[in-house]
Chain A
Amino acid sequence: MVVVVKDLVSSCDTNYDGMVVHKHVLSALHGTDSVVVDFSGIPNVTSSFVNCAFVALLQDFDFAQIRSRLHLQNVNRQIGNLVRDRMKKEAATVA
């Protein structure tokens, strides 16, 4: 299943944007094995967005599950670095 971020929010700047995406990603992860989140047309993300969209997934899944089942595509350097960095740091605090 593919979640296209641009279909859900116009940008990825705020907590609210993150919550909207989180709702769809969480639902997809509960419904299918492999989920792709597509960032086409998204120039950047903030930590507020990443905390709400992805870090919050750690309440339902462990990081190993997320890494194996959640795939990101069409990400630029900034998006990739921030998502990876935030998830690794928050997963370490949960562990």
Chain B
Amino acid sequence: MVCRVILPRQFRAPELFPQVQREFGRLERIPNHVQFDFSQLQFARPSGVVFLSNLTRYLRRNGCRVTYCGLDPSRDPIAYMDDSLFFEQHCGRRLLDSSQPRPTTRPLMEIRHTEVHGWIGFQLIPWLSASSGVPETELAEFRTCMSELFNNIQDHTEYDVGSVFAQWYPQEHKLEIVVADFGSGIPRTVRTVEAIDSDANAILRSFDEGFSAKSRPTNRGAGLHYLRQNVLDNLGGNLRVHSGSGVVRFEKNGNSHQVKLCEGSGFCPGTMVELEIRTDRIEFDEVNDGSFEW
């Protein structure tokens, strides 16, 4: 029997999580055949693309047949997904031969942990620099944020791959980048060292400076804190982290950091991080002569 899943009009991960919980529970109920119906899609965002990509891979890895229907490439959201290389990766070919990655995106990619830092340095940073006009040297904090993110995601997963997709909005000088994996997730890792009731609180705890689940003996709880501080203070951005049934959003309100927690609005297998930065808010370092004082 085919389990038909009608994808929501707004194709973003937060709209997909409740659907996943309804259809598959916490992925303990995997049918033999799932068909995703794209016919209702009105608007696609990077988080939806990344999440469905990961979900498709996860279902197939677990023996489920995954098919798609309602694919009309003349419709904008389907064309966007075709240009993002979604269908090339999951159906073996693009819907239209003319589809190709847009200059404003870094297309959907499944990336191994061993390749991540090379991808950041050789693809993401040069592309963002060319798109935004910000010299690569001034993107050092962002580059480190991305590496910290991947280093930490690696600590919360048993798989050696994750997915990433980036979208540049030139009018707003804004980058939206989504990174996700299908590992055990942040809450489970946090609970190996502390008893914390909700998934959202566990995610929040993982961003505290000095907190570490000691997945590696040298971890000292600095990476996620650095990510949060720099995205909010130096990159004019915000951060949304989904894992299990928890969501935590970090944003800046005036001079202070604001944290919003949400629990139980669906289920996110593994970890998904949505990160936005504003390149017009990056301050250039004009006086650095390479010297260092302790």
Which residues of A line the B interface, CB within 8 A? 11, 13-15, 18, 43-48, 50-52, 55-56, 67, 71-80, 82-84, 86-87, 89-90
Contact = CB atoms under 8 A, between A and B. Distances in A.
Interface in B94-135: 117, 121
Chain B: interface size category? 20 to 34
Nearest to A71: B292
Contacts of A76: 137, 140, 285, 288, 290
B74 interface: no
B292 A47 contact: no
A72 B218 CA distance: 22
B126 to A, nearest CB: 11
B183 interface: no
Contacts of A79: 140
Interface in B110-168: 117, 121, 136-137, 140-141, 143-144, 147-148, 151
Contact of B226 (A13, A47, A67): A47
Given A18-B218, A47-B222, 15 more contacts: A13-B117, A13-B147, A15-B218, A43-B121, A43-B137, A43-B140, A44-B141, A45-B144, A47-B220, A48-B218, A67-B294, A72-B292, A73-B290, A77-B288, A87-B294
| A-B interface, 3 closest residue pairs, ranked by CB to CB distance from nearest | A78-B140, A47-B222, A72-B292
B61 interface: no
Contact of B143 (A43, A47, A67, A75): A43
A44 B147 contact: yes
B294 A84 contact: yes
Contacts of A13: 117, 147, 151
B201 to A, nearest CB: 23
A56 B220 CA distance: 11
Contact of B148 (A47, A77, A90): A47
Contacts of B121: 11, 43
Contacts of B226: 47, 82
Interface string B197-238: 000000000000100000010111011001000000000000
B148 A46 contact: yes
A38 B223 CA distance: 23
B171 interface: no
A46 B144 contact: yes
Nearest to A18: B218
B231 to A, nearest CB: 14
B230 to A, nearest CB: 9
Contacts of A48: 148, 151, 218-219, 223
Nearest to B118: A11
Contacts of A67: 294
Contacts of B219: 48, 51
Contacts of B290: 73-76
Contacts of B141: 44, 77-78
B117 A47 contact: no
B255 interface: no
Listed residue (A13, A45, A50, A90) with the most chain B CB atoms within 10 angstroms of its CB: A13
B256 interface: no
20 contacts: A13-B117, A13-B147, A14-B117, A15-B218, A43-B121, A43-B140, A44-B141, A44-B147, A45-B144, A46-B147, A47-B226, A48-B219, A51-B220, A52-B218, A73-B290, A75-B290, A76-B140, A79-B140, A84-B294, A87-B294
